[in-house]
Amino acid sequence: MAACVGRHSYLLCCAGGLNVRLPHSKLREAAAILHNNICTSRGCYGSRERNETQDTGIQVPVDRLTVSYSRSSGPGGQHVNKVSTKAEVRFHVHTADWIPQDVRQKILEKNKNRINKAGELLVTSETSRSQQRNLSDCIQKISAIIAEASEKPREATAEESAVRAARLEKRNKERLKEKRIHSATKHSRRVEFD
C-alpha cells in the first residue's frame, strides 16, 4: 500500500508479519524484494498445493470448473464482512470427460454428500483470507477426491491369501469348540423326567 505523507511517498508493506515503511525512491527495489520473499516463503499463491497435485499426476482443468466467491464465516472482524474470500468450486460429474468413466462412478459413490441434485460436485474452502489460496485449496481437494477414486485395490499375494485362510480356519475351529462346550453345558443342566 502506498501512502503520501507531506512531500514524501511511502510504501507500507504488511506481509507475513513484516511491516516496512520506505520512501518512494526505494519503491521498485522494495517491491521486487518483497515479491521474491513472498514467492519463496509461501510458494507464489499456493504453488505448494499445486506441487502436491502434480505429485498425484492429476491435472484439473480450471476452465471446466465453475468458481464462485462468497463471504467467509467465523472470526475476522470487519475484514470478513467486506471481502468475499470463501471459494466455492463445482463441476458436473456426469459430463466431466477429463475424468475416466469408472473413476466418475466411484466419485459418485464415495462423495454422495458433496453432490447436489444437479449432479455437481461441490467443494468449498475458507481456510485462508485470500481468494487465491482458497481456490488452490479447492482444486487440491478435487484432485485428492479424483486420486482417491482412481486408486485400484491392491491384489492379495499368495502368501497373504494363505495366512488369511489359516486364520479363518483357526477362527472356525475355535467357534466350533466354544459351541460344543456351550452345548455340553446346556445338556448337563437338562433334567430328564421318566
Check pLDDT > 60 for residue 15: no
Q: How many degrees, rounded to 5, is the angle at CA 160 between CA 159 and CA 165?
A: 100
Query: What are the C-alpha distances in Å from 16 to residues 34, 35, 106, 184?
Result: 10, 12, 41, 75
Lowest mean pLDDT among 53-62, 93-102, 103-112, 128-137: 53-62
Cβ burial of 86 (10 Å; 0-12, 13-18, 19+) is buried
Question: Nine-digit cell at 85?
Answer: 474470500
Using an 8 Å Cβ cutoff, are 146 and 103 in contact? yes
Neighbours of 15 (CB within 10 A): 13
CATH class of this structure's domain 57-153: alpha beta
In whole angstroms, what is the distance from residue 133 CA to residue 83 CA?
14
- For the chain, the structural domain boundaries read 1-44, 57-153
- Does 17 have pLDDT greater than 80? no
Residue 111 CA from chain centroid, whole number: 13
Residue 117 has pLDDT above 60, yes or no: yes
Is residue 162 predicted with pLDDT exceeding 90? yes
- Find the radius of gyration of the CA atoms of the chain: 30
Judge whether 47 and 38 are in contact, CB under 8 Å: no
Spatial strand order in the sheet of 8-15: 2-5, 8-15, 18-23
Instruction: Name the average pLDDT for the chain.
Output: 77
Alpha-carbon span 120 to 104, nearest angstrom: 12
Mean pLDDT throughout 147-156? 89
Of residues 56 and 98, the one with the higher pLDDT is 98
